[in-house]
Chains A and B, each alone.
Chain A
Amino acid sequence: MELFVNQVLAGISTGAIYACMALAVVMIYQAIDHLNFAQGEMAMFSTFIAFQLMQWGVPYWWTFPLTLIISFAGGVAIERALFKPLGNAPVLVHVAGFIALFAIINSVAGLTWDWTIKQFPTPFGNAPFLGSQLISTHQAGMIGITFLLLVLLFIFFRFTRVGLAMRAAAALPESAKLVGINVSWMIALGWGMASGIGAIAGILIAPVVFLEPNMMGGVLVYGFASAVLGGLSSPFGAVMGGFLVGVFENLVGTYIPGVGNELKLPIALALIVTVLVLKPGGLFGRVAQQRV
């Protein structure tokens, strides 16, 4: 029993990493209706910006908002410069754009800050959380911030006019224009917000996985998986998906003989495929209902 509880706790703490990234994935999905493969690299780059600011002697609590603002502006700029000109090009063209962006950001980060791994500080410390060896105060803080972000996003999308306009612009751009919404800027805003959330994810993940240009590779795959599992239309689902993937992966590794660490990943992903076959909208996603 104690082993079980411990493994669940350990799963929750890795799940927090996935949940954080999944939130950023859902955010961009809400804005542009597809996934951004360069999302992880954008988050990594934001984390390097935070790292650089701290190197220059900016205190942590100034670094945090500054990085957010820079990342938001960067996200908007990427959309304006790269994806707005693509306009109504087919999805595959956009995918090629995402992959190019991925490679460019990865290389630029490598050239600027080299490929060695770096320590990244945490504001929460690394002491055991409430006496548990399995969750550190950093991971507890990360879970807290993930939920705070979730609540803020919920309020933004549900109760503000801009949030409503963004949902409308993503769902049906043509109709959105006809009620007077500037769809093009809504998409740019979505990019900015996704980039900002990615920056928060990166800053929270870096103390755990260490900072280096490839730090997000695995995390983004899990983030995608979590978002898809929970439902791409639901920020809440994405966070829950993150924790579920984390916990499930740990339990499978512990209890199914012969799985161990090596096979955790494929088994977790197999579970996701199974869930999606049974429930294509994800566990918490709203399936669009339509009368025919």
Chain B
Amino acid sequence: MSTMLSIKDLRAYYGQVQALHGLTLSINEGAVTTLLGANGAGKTTTIRAVCNMVRSTGSIEFQGKSLIGKSTESIVQYGIAHVPQGRGTFTTLSVEENLQLGAITRKDKKAIGEDIEKMYAYFPVLKQRYQQQAGTLSGGEQQMLAVARALMLRPRLMLLDEPSFGLAPLVVRDLFGILKKINLEDKVTILVVEQNAQLALELAETAFVIETGRIVMSGNAKEIASNEDIRKSYLGY
């Protein structure tokens, strides 16, 4: 498997505060990778740095091309879809408009229409509500909309920031099932940031554990899940 995303010695700053202290990780093409860690460890900052949404230094390469210094909107053009924390739903627009926005950089009008139908097949509840203002959807429905919006890009790499946040356990199960399916059928490489370590380790093949802005542990997800010491000291379950 070849490396799709390679991050080396990444340092990120919020004003004077340094949030990442030389973080290094790499993601294989076609894999599901998870980034775990406590509140404030730097998980969100890491994937925000990939899309150049925080000030950062170091090296971020996507399929050999450097992303450092590129604007957020141009990074999307490489096929990197980012589902942000809080879902980033366009609440005043309709569900279908939200989906169209996901494909706003694409020119193939006909295929966009087919992809919208495909999203409705993945998430039937969105079809029922396609004309509704997206802000009226429940939290779980909005998370599905956010994933569907990201898929409308036909991404190569999908970054998900705490998709389980605020959702009922059953809804989370559903959502993670769909993510797995997307990974297998649509060959989308996935990086998922999670606080819900147990679930994320079931979904992912590889895991990285982050603490105060550094990677402190990485390896096979199954092994990390079965290692009681790691679980107790870093993942808290």
Contacts and interface: CB of A to CB of B under 8 A. Distances in A.
B93 A291 contact: no
A291 to B, nearest CB: 6
Contacts of B101: 164-165, 168, 176, 179, 181
A84 B138 CA distance: 36
Contacts of B97: 164, 167
A177 B71 CA distance: 9
A161 B138 CA distance: 27
Nearest to B133: A289
Contact of B90 (A172, A180, A183, A291): A172
A161 B53 CA distance: 25
A182 interface: yes
Interface in B42-82: 51, 53, 71-74, 76-77, 81-82
A180 B73 contact: yes
Interface residues of A, number: 23
Contacts of A165: 101, 104
Contact of A174 (B76, B77, B88): B88
Contacts of A290: 91, 135-136
A150 B81 CA distance: 35
A139 to B, nearest CB: 35
Interface in B77-136: 77, 81-82, 84, 88-93, 97, 100-102, 104-105, 133, 135-136
A5 to B, nearest CB: 39
Interface string A146-180: 00000000000000010011011001101111111
A279 interface: no
A181 B84 CA distance: 15
Given A171-B93, A179-B105, 19 more contacts: A164-B93, A164-B97, A165-B101, A171-B91, A171-B92, A177-B53, A177-B71, A177-B73, A178-B81, A179-B76, A179-B101, A179-B102, A179-B149, A181-B101, A182-B73, A288-B91, A290-B91, A290-B136, A291-B136
Interface of A: 161, 164-165, 167-168, 171-172, 174-183, 233, 286, 288-291
Interface of B: 51, 53, 71-74, 76-77, 81-82, 84, 88-93, 97, 100-102, 104-105, 133, 135-139, 149, 153
